[in-house]
Amino acid sequence: MEKREELYKGKAKSVYTTDDPDRLILYFRNDTSAFDGKKTAQLDRKGMVNNKFNAYIMQKLEEAGIPTQMDQLLSDQESLVKRLDMVPVECVVRNISAGSICRRLGVQEGLDLNPPTFEFFLKNDDLGDPMINEYHIESFGWAKAEHIEVMKELTFKVNDVLKALFAEAGLLLVDYKLEFGIYKGQVVLGDEFTPDGCRLWDKDTREKLDKDRFRQGLGGVVEAYEAVGQRLGINFD
């Protein structure tokens, strides 16, 4: 597989074309950012930890019947993935209140949400990723109605699979964000699943083991990601 030009540079990953028009390479950089890019840093080992973390989770999701873009790990910081036509929408499920929902609705952090709640956000940094609903997605042509339904179904299926997986490791899956794309007419999970895009708390102490450590300046960011991975049995060597 030959790596060609950089197609897109996100805040933490770069995407490269390859000699196969149906495949891209995701390069997980050591960069991290928060607050729509207003706070940034370089964190040693983060690219490697997130690349391996993502590959492990995507494999678990595939095994549970969720189609993902993951093809194979290529190196410490690179993965080969299917080239999706990305839907510019973020799907968020929340099992416990934290983050933006607390600010928006004036609720306290740490409330169990029964049933888990679901939100769509438009992927647009300039607008601060505004919350949208299904009508917006369909009216503006960001995705078709039948694809929106599948995105919701798959996002909740991911919740069933990953809540159980993290629970076995003594962790609470508080919330997470997923992005989907279309591949050969099918809705497929894209982007990544790492502690950059979810909240994970220790079940007993409720210690934060995710990107909130960076957002809130708690330190030990990559150490926490790695500790979570190790609790899942991921080998980072």
Nearer of residues 74 and 224 to ligand C5P, judged by Cβ: 224
Q: Using an 8 Å Cβ cutoff, are 46 and 222 in contact?
A: yes
Nearer of residues 47 and 197 to ligand C5P, judged by Cβ: 197
Nearer of residues 74 and 143 to ligand C5P, judged by Cβ: 143
Nearer of residues 3 and 136 to ligand C5P, judged by Cβ: 136
Q: Using an 8 Å Cβ cutoff, are 228 and 235 in contact?
A: no
Instruction: Name the strand (E) or helix (H) holding 146.
Output: helix 145-168
**d(C-alpha 23, C-alpha 81), whole Å:** 6
**d(C-alpha 237, C-alpha 233), whole Å:** 12
Q: At its nearest, how many Å lie between ligand C5P and the CB of residue 46?
A: 15
Q: At its nearest, how many Å lie between ligand C5P and the CB of residue 21?
A: 28
Residues that bind ligand C5P (CB under 6 A): 90, 92, 99-101, 129, 175-177, 197-199, 211
Q: Which residue is nearest to ligand C5P (CB)?
A: 99
Q: List the structure tokens of 92.
A: 């968020």
Q: At its nearest, how many Å lie between ligand C5P and the CB of residue 26?
A: 15
Q: List the structure tokens of 54.
A: 């993502």
- The SS3 call for residue 55 is helix
Nearer of residues 72 and 124 to ligand C5P, judged by Cβ: 124
Q: At its nearest, how many Å lie between ligand C5P and the CB of residue 79?
A: 18
Beta bridge partners of 27: 14, 78
Cα angle 26, 92, 179; round to 5: 25
Q: At its nearest, how many Å lie between ligand C5P and the CB of residue 191?
A: 9
